A and B are shown apart, each in its own frame.
Chain A
Amino acid sequence: MAIVAQQSKLSQIIWPVLAWIVALLFFFPIFWMILTSFKTDADAVKPEFLFRFTPTLENYTNMTDNYDYWRFATNSIITSVSATLFTLFVAVPCAYAMAFNPSRGTKDILMWMLSTKMLPAAAVLYPMIFLTKSLGVYDTKFLIVMVLSLINLPIAIWMLFTYFKDIPKDIIEAGQMDGLTTWGEVKEILVPLAWGGIASTALLIFIFCWNEAYWTVRLTTTEAATLSKLIEGNRAPEGLFFGRLSAVSTAAVGPIIVLGWFSQKQLVQGLTFGAVK
């Protein structure tokens, strides 16, 4: 008994300590980035000055005055919000159909959609650039919204599908008996019942859109450039200006970290795909 009690006491200490170590390891680069953003470029490259430096807002003022931060931020907000809404607009009916009216091919379609995530993006980079340029949509917000929506659709449909599967089919059928149209079923039953799932899907998709860099960097120049492009653009040819880069990065990831912090619960639920309920 005593040994068991001792062991459980030990594990009560060890696990939290380990968890904290891991959490701090993950957080350290972000912490370093935030710290560096308040240093001058000269201070930033001196490791012995990790904590000994004179804080400055120079990088931030520089960023807003000279690099048009707000334009990039606005583009990020517009494209991420639009792409999230569009993704849900397509994914909700799609997942609804698959969950409540599955056909023989439903499982294969789901797997196929997931398999598109395994395609290396670089493989289609050049066709995409040629295609979008010749269609005249290169560097437009429309293109970015479409690209962000399409790359996130599979994951959104998968997530919503698993949430919808949890809703008893009887309830949908009761709705049909009571006179609901298909749209009515979605509005009156599906959305209210799967609200938590839809919200966490939306949140996750928004975060993915905001953080997306591969396509947003390569398919934009100025018009539709998002914060990812701003960060990338700060790789000056004469070398890396760490202070400046850190400020831009902090300003880019800041909003999403705050959003993530306040919606941790939803996110965890979303990432476990409705498995813990």
Chain B
Amino acid sequence: MGRIQLKGVQKKFGDVEVIPPLDLTIEDGEFAVFVGPSGCGKSTLLRLIAGLEETTSGTVEINGEDVTMASPSSRGLAMVFQSYALYPHMTVRKNIAFPLRMEKMDPAEIEKRVAVAAKSLNLTDYLDRKPGQLSGGQRQRVAIGRAIVREPSAFLFDEPLSNLDAALRVGMRLEISELHKRLQNTMIYVTHDQVEAMTMADKIVVLQAGVIEQVGSPLELYNAPRNKFVGGFIGSPKMNQIEGEAATKRGCTTLGMRPEHINMSPDSGEFKGTIGVAEQLGSDTFFHVHIEGQEETVTVRQEGQVNYKYGDTIYLTPVEDRVHKFGPDGLRIA
């Protein structure tokens, strides 16, 4: 069981309000991802849940129990840190066993649990090494091992993959998703990478300046972003947002077009533009198109390998039923 509920939780550092009062519920077994740009308060929110930071006001409840004043260890949560935070002077075995030793668990049981965790994380051969002798990915696995042996009611991940290289990141992403499917535990995952959020989450919580902008499943956020910020933040490459005539004639202030929802033609279309930089990925091509009267380029995704040259004249037309309309207040117009 791991239902986490935040009621009117607020955090101030001195006079600076990092998180204005907010409410949020994470259901048992859910994989929730807090996503937002750096400094949006997502890590602070996680630390408030963990108990590493004290709330200024409001309550944190785990399984219906008020834990606002409880110590981090008594909340029954396990955390994986960005820096892994392994104990450098202990072997892998001792690192994983540490929380159990603190619980004064029977040594035979500790040994058993460590062995099981090590096996599931492919760490059996490294149990007698120290963290300094491991690669980044292995250290990350030790940190996860230290979390799973406790059998916590929820896992907290604070940007756990940002210190890994790109290839390893994808692998570890899958491993964590796999772990969630297997354990069915509540997991809260903090990241600034919207791709991680989209691929892993059951529920995404988009934050900006400590305020929850939207909560929903990845596809809900992708298909119906509540405002301009969420529209621009979720999806890669990011949504094109243009103002002016094209927007007013559709009855909105800002028109949002995802790169994959724009048709491109050399002959005719709604917007006339010239090709700027083209990014060839093999499977797709991203064109950055300069449109008259628009300051920012419009990104267009074309499937496969499309050959337009720099400076070519091109016409763009948005796919009408996939455009997003935002009003003067930045909110979505239904």
Identify the A interface with B (CB < 8 A): 168, 170-171, 173-180, 184, 188-189, 192-193
Contact = CB atoms under 8 A, between A and B. Distances in A.
Contact of B81 (A170, A179, A184): A170
Contact of A171 (B77, B85, B99, B150): B85
Nearest to B53: A173
7 contacts: A168-B83, A171-B88, A174-B86, A177-B50, A179-B102, A180-B73, A193-B88
A171 B87 CA distance: 7
The 8 closest A-B pairs by CB, nearest first: A179-B102, A179-B73, A170-B85, A174-B85, A178-B99, A192-B89, A176-B72, A170-B81
Contacts of A168: 83, 85
B103 A179 contact: yes
B79 A177 contact: yes
Contacts of A180: 73, 102
Interface string B74-96: 00011101111111110000000
Contact of B73 (A170, A176, A188, A192): A176
Contact of A173 (B85, B87, B98, B103): B85
Most buried by B among A168, A174, A192: A174
Given A170-B83, A184-B102, A178 B146 contact: yes
Interface SS, A side: helix
Nearest to A180: B102
A160 B73 CA distance: 27
B174 interface: no
B219 interface: no
Name B's interface SS: loop
A264 to B, nearest CB: 24
A92 to B, nearest CB: 17
A174 B72 CA distance: 10
A189 B87 contact: yes
Contacts of A170: 81-85
B143 to A, nearest CB: 8
A87 to B, nearest CB: 24
B297 to A, nearest CB: 40
A24 B88 CA distance: 42
A184 B89 CA distance: 15
A179 B87 contact: no
Contacts of A173: 52, 72, 79, 81, 85
Contacts of B280: none
Contacts of A174: 79, 81, 85-87, 146
Contacts of B146: 174, 178
B248 interface: no
A180 B74 CA distance: 10
Contacts of B71: 176
B52 A178 contact: no
A214 to B, nearest CB: 40
A170 B82 CA distance: 9
Given A170-B81, A173-B81, A184-B102, A178 B89 contact: no
A218 to B, nearest CB: 44
A242 to B, nearest CB: 52
Interface in B103-141: 103
A178 B73 contact: yes
Residue with the highest number of chain B CB atoms closer than 10 Å, among A177, A180, A184:
A177
A244 B311 CA distance: 97
Nearest to A193: B89
B81 A178 contact: no
Contacts of A171: 85-88
A176 B51 CA distance: 9
A175 B87 CA distance: 9
Nearest to A192: B89
A1 to B, nearest CB: 41
Contacts of B85: 168, 170-171, 173-174
A179 B99 contact: yes
Nearest to A169: B85
B102 A178 contact: yes
